[in-house]
């Protein structure tokens, strides 16, 4: 079947984004060259410029797409009416399952934010349609109520919602952000690392919740 012009355009744009993602991960955004991206995508430099105008715009598009693969899902879970214990398990499963398929994401995102800190707020607004501070207040309010209920019932130590969020996400993301170091330190090959993450999917949520019990 012959594709329409719009379908062909979307396909080309997606191919350029995929190629840029691969090149940025391999060479770093600063070290990447538009000619290299065009070659990877199988297009000429003029077509790449037509779609994205500059490497900076392409880098922003790739970064937003990469980070947007996780952030909205985690925000939805944490801001939902699900039980707190279920939220912990859902965040762990969502983060570890996705990052196991894209283990480069944390390192790439952290590197980009280190060089372009202004992208943090832009990213949150782009993928959620909300002001970052508004999201933080909404999530913190929901978690705060749930934590307070459990503290009053004697089921949990007091913990600030922001500490709860950072502790949980850090324990999910760190193995991937530090993957090369951990593989060398613990003697893992890729298969060993994958098994480690499979165990972590089963053990992390119970470990996290046990640490909060009185």
Instruction: Say how far apart CA 144 and CA 151 lie, in whole Å.
Output: 10
Between 114 and 37, the more confident residue is 37
pLDDT tens digits, 136-167:
788 999 999 999 999 999 999 999 999 999 99
pLDDT for the residue 130: 64
Q: Average pLDDT, whole number, for the chain? A: 87
Q: Nearest Cα to 176, choosing from 120, 90, 108, 89?
A: 108
Between 117 and 88, the more confident residue is 88
Instruction: Say how far apart CA 61 and CA 56 lie, in whole Å.
Output: 9
What pTM was estimated for this model as a whole? 0.80
Mean pLDDT calculated for residue range 110-132: 71
pLDDT tens digits, 160-200:
999 999 999 999 999 999 999 999 999 999 999 999 999 99
Are 123 and 63 in contact, with CB atoms under 8 Å apart? yes
Between 38 and 128, the more confident residue is 38
Are 77 and 143 in contact, with CB atoms under 8 Å apart? no
Mean pLDDT calculated for residue range 122-133: 65
pLDDT tens digits, 54-111:
888 888 888 777 777 777 888 889 999 999 999 999 999 999 999 998 888 888 778 8
pLDDT at 131 over 90: no
Q: Residue 127 — pLDDT band, cuts 50, 70, 90? A: low
pLDDT for the residue 210: 97
pLDDT for the residue 3: 44
Mean pLDDT calculated for residue range 120-149: 79
Instruction: Say how far apart CA 197 and CA 18 lie, in whole Å.
Output: 26
List domains and CATH numbers for the chain.
5-59 (1.10.10.60), 68-212 (1.10.357.10)
Instruction: Say how far apart CA 174 and CA 89 lie, in whole Å.
Output: 17
């Amino acid at each position: 079947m012959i594709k329409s012009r719009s379908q062909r355009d979307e396909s080309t744009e997606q191919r350029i984004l995929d190629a840029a993602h691969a090149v940025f991960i391999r060479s770093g955004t600063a070290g990447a060259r538009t000619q290299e991206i065009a070659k990877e995508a199988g297009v000429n430099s003029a077509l790449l410029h037509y779609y994205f105008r500059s490497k900076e715009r392409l880098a922003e598009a790739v970064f937003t797409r990469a980070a947007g693969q996780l952030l909205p899902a985690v925000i939805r879970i944490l801001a939902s009416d699900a039980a707190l214990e279920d939220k912990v398990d859902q965040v762990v499963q969502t983060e570890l399952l996705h990052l196991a398929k894209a283990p480069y994401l944390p390192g790439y995102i952290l590197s980009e934010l280190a060089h372009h800190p202004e992208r943090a707020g832009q990213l949150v607004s782009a993928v959620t349609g909300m002001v970052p501070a508004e999201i933080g207040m909404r999530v913190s309010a929901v978690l705060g109520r749930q934590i307070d209920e459990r503290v009053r019932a004697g089921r949990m130590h007091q913990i600030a919602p922001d500490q709860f969020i950072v502790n949980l996400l850090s324990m999910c993301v760190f193995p991937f952000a530090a993957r090369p170091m951990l593989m060398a330190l613990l003697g893992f090959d890729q298969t060993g690392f994958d098994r480690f993450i499979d165990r972590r999917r089963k053990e992390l949520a119970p470990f996290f919740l046990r640490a909060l019990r009185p």
